[in-house]
Structure 1
Amino acid sequence: MKQLGRYEQYRTTETEWCPEVPHHWGFVPIRRIGRVTNGGTPAAEPHFWNGEIPFMTPPDLRFADGREVASTQRTVTRAGVEAGSSTVNAGSIVVSIRAPIGYVGRTIEETAFNQGCRAITPDARSDPRYTAYSLVAARDELDAQGRGTTFMEVSGGQFLGVHVPLPPLDDQKAIADFLDDQTSRINTLIAKQDQLIIALGERRAAVSVQAVTKGRRAHASMQPSGLRWAREVPASWKVANIRRFAAMKTGHTPSRSNAEYWMGCTIPWVTLADVWQLRDGRATYLAEETATHINELGLANSAAELLPAGTVVLSRTASVGFAGIMPVPMATSQDYWNWVCGPELLPTFLLATFRAMRSELGSMVMGSTHQTIYQPIAAAMSIVVPPLDEQREIVEFLDNQTSRIDALIAKTEEHIKLAKERRVALITAAVTGKIDVRTAGRAIEGVA
């Protein structure tokens, strides 16, 4: 970035997050920059929901970083607002104060919000854009005010007492204009990098499907498979029910009401809390340490089994279709179907198969409230199984190809991370007066 100048004089604020501001700026508690409103959630009555008023919650603010929030996941009716929520007008700032703390966004129309947020309607001394950016910069300070046991929350008094810079209105507008321009450039770069990751992921999936269904041997004669996800496969491959090649095992949860089942737990127990590591399809093996463990007594008194290393797990409830391999003996919850491969099937090839079947697995889900792949459907799955030497060839090929793609994805993710850090640093520098944006050029190095 072009070297930006500093203001001529500064004064101390006696705060850690913003130790000094330009001499002519204010540094005031949030209560002095506008009206603060608490949120609420209407009861689950049909006539309170799916109305004309956006209903903002912390997840709606997650990626806003002080910008306008164009849409919300849910909406409420006027009756819903009157029964249990609050609204603010366009140009207000909504801040999440729990689960998590410090997401910030601006409203573009009358908006309701839940008790996980507070809204600020700036007064005449405050530019809404600058105010939102200043709260983005104060995120760590807001987070430090959180208190609680079940979850962290910033109380009303603590929120009102957080101090933020308050420059003269002309300075606020200049800073907001500068940040609108420069963060837009950074956001465009991030969006392009996000699209690249999507494209690389699609390429990775296509490589996997091609290898698992066609193999690596040129000019192999093909045969119809009878499967939707693999129309034709090499004639030398077997197409049969998965249970011909792997033993199907389930998982279970020991009784929570018996404390003895949950004391001195040392057995790794795979639950939905561990599925995050499988979502992007890059990890072959689960981590050896799981989020939760069970003990021998709980295992013996439930339908869970201690399964051998090399067992392939397939998530089947809520987060459906994510697969990985156990690196050590483990048990699982009932949220997984587990497959212990026989002598004709490599666990790594079955893992590649499940990942190639991702769309097919999604079509097996049943249930409205409780979505899952039920036992009869999982037990009826058919797969394609090449000879063992071809399985090894395919797995080796996929390891080579996907590792290259994964390296590109990792590099792109690092670029995104750095761009986001640069965006926050720029916002903080501008709203705290570390830089005088009136001396700014147009471009940020690497972004223009």
Structure 2
Amino acid sequence: MRWETVPLGEVARVVSGATPKTGVPEYWGGPIPWATPAELSRLGSSRIHATERTLTEAGFSSSGVNILPVGSVLLSSRAPIGLVAINTVPMGTNQGFKSLVPSDRVLAPFLYWWLKSHTALLQSKGRGATFLELSKAEVERLQIPLPPLPEQRRIAAILDEAAALRSTWGETRESARRAISSRISALLSKSTDIKPLAQLLAEPMRNGISPSRGGRYEGEVLTLSAITRGAFDPRQRKSDLFAAPHAADKLAIEGLHLICRGNGNAELVGAMVAVTEQLDGVAFPDTMIGFRPSSEINSPTLVAAWRHPTVRDQLRRAARTTNGTYKVNQQSLSSIMVPVPRREDQEQIAALDAERTKLDSQLAQGLVSLDELFASLQHRAFRGEL
């Protein structure tokens, strides 16, 4: 089967986008969809059906926006370079695109997957001092391997099917998480015993330690990413210099609970996780508050209760802003009211949490395997090896 390599500009028309004046209301809110790169970054599939903003006929005429016919391939050319989608309705784009209208020599799904598998190449072609941008000329010069149309159709179908399998596996993982979380939430919601966090401590809260510019002692310290991603991540740490060796009460030891003191994202302020493994000499930073819970509430129950909507509402009200950073302190946290379920319900919550952790790990491993398979398929597809 003969494959040829041709410049992309020979098999597709490259179309730039444009933006009407945003201050003219008459240009906006009409029937013409108008896409931005941000919308492509949130897509859960290869197709784009609708956009957040739309243009009127006046807006379309004023700016020179090109309407892409159905079955074009939208390609973001800046901020960032390399996002792609196929439009299912006629659509315009802003200036952050160099989209492609395929000729009868190339199928849109084949072109979509070729671009999707060559993001690094596209980004390497970007130029600019302030931000990188992919020019129309660079897109037209890209060399694309082109098999006959039936082979293009077969390759695109294989990659579509593999992508659908990955998506289904990811949805299964999220569905399992939600189902178990719902059962935990129901157990928390039926609790009639509510106590301030201050009454659920086995020891006083304390802040972590900060690096020192003139420090003479090298040591490791966690970063906020260790506790703001939904679960404790011991890999998120750094080495720095400190004024003194790490004191024992500043170490992130197994069983310690850590709370985020401050963040630019209000939803992450007050985030809590438990340290789930023993770390060797790693401290927690001054941007965290550490404590151990009393025997009145087990760790999985406390962490789950801390994420319950009634507790999150209290944390939002307690947070204060300073120069764009939301902050909580030991005093405000001490008065947060926490549901304390019955002992048998706590044991059930702990069992459900363990089940969720085990299931999530298994599904995550499966997703990694699918990702590796998909990457292999993409690599082989455009070398004529499928």
Q: TM-score, normalised by structure 2?
A: 0.69
1:312 and 2:262 aligned? no
Separation in 1 of the partners of 2:352 and 2:56?
52
1:240 and 2:186 aligned? no
* Distance change >3 Å, CA 104–CA 331, structure 1 → 2: same
* Distance change >3 Å, CA 242–CA 161, structure 1 → 2: same
Q: How far has the Cα of 1:80 moved from its partner?
A: 5.2
Q: How far has the Cα of 1:209 moved from its partner?
A: 4.0
Separation in 1 of the partners of 2:301 and 2:44?
42
Separation in 1 of the partners of 2:382 and 2:32?
32
- In the other structure, the counterpart of 1:323 is 272
Q: How far has the Cα of 1:429 moved from its partner?
A: 4.1
Alignment of 1:16-415 (within 5 A): 22=2, 25-41=3-19, 44-45=22-23, 47=25, 49-62=28-41, 67-78=46-57, 86-90=65-69, 91-146=71-126, 153-167=133-147, 171-172=148-149, 174-179=150-155, 181-206=157-182, 208-209=184-185, 213=188, 229-233=189-193, 239-246=194-201, 268=221, 270-271=223-224, 274=225, 278-279=228-229, 281=230, 283=231, 285-287=232-234, 289-290=236-237, 309=252, 310-314=256-260, 317-320=265-268, 322-325=271-274, 328-331=282-285, 333=287, 338=289, 340-341=291-292, 348=299, 351-354=302-305, 357-364=307-314, 365=316, 380-385=335-340, 394=346, 401-415=352-366
Contact 1:249 1:339 in 2 (8 A): yes
Q: Deviations over 1:104-133 (max 9, x none)?
A: 211222323344432112234433333323
Paired AA for residue 45 in structure 1: G
Contact 1:311 1:347 in 2 (8 A): no
Separation in 2 of the partners of 1:132 and 1:209?
42
Separation in 2 of the partners of 1:293 and 1:40?
47
Q: How far has the Cα of 1:55 moved from its partner?
A: 3.1
Contact 1:248 1:340 in 2 (8 A): yes
Gaps of 5+ in 2: 244-248
Separation in 1 of the partners of 2:297 and 2:41?
41
Q: Secondary structure at the match of 1:331?
A: coil
Paired AA for residue 267 in structure 2: S
- 63-72 or 84-93, larger mean C-alpha shift: 63-72
Q: Deviations over 1:285-339 (max 9, x none)?
A: 343644797977xxxxxxxxx9664342157734347422466433355xx7x46
* Distance change >3 Å, CA 113–CA 380, structure 1 → 2: farther
Separation in 2 of the partners of 1:87 and 1:291?
49
Q: TM-score, normalised by structure 1?
A: 0.61
* Distance change >3 Å, CA 288–CA 406, structure 1 → 2: closer
Gaps of 5+ in 1: 1-6, 8-21, 214-228, 234-238, 255-259, 297-305, 436-448
Q: How far has the Cα of 1:103 moved from its partner?
A: 2.6
Q: Quick one: percent identity of the two aligned structures? A: 19
- Aligned residues: CA RMSD: 4.8
Contact 1:53 1:75 in 2 (8 A): yes
Q: Deviations over 1:27-51 (max 9, x none)?
A: 1222222322233455653725554
Separation in 2 of the partners of 1:189 and 1:155?
34
Separation in 1 of the partners of 2:182 and 2:21?
46
Q: How far has the Cα of 1:250 moved from its partner?
A: 8.3
Contact 2:74 2:97 in 1 (8 A): yes
* Distance change >3 Å, CA 93–CA 45, structure 1 → 2: same
* Distance change >3 Å, CA 349–CA 400, structure 1 → 2: closer
* Distance change >3 Å, CA 371–CA 359, structure 1 → 2: farther
Separation in 2 of the partners of 1:132 and 1:244?
58
Q: Deviations over 1:260-307 (max 9, x none)?
A: 79xx99774744xx27x644x4x3x343644797977xxxxxxxxx96
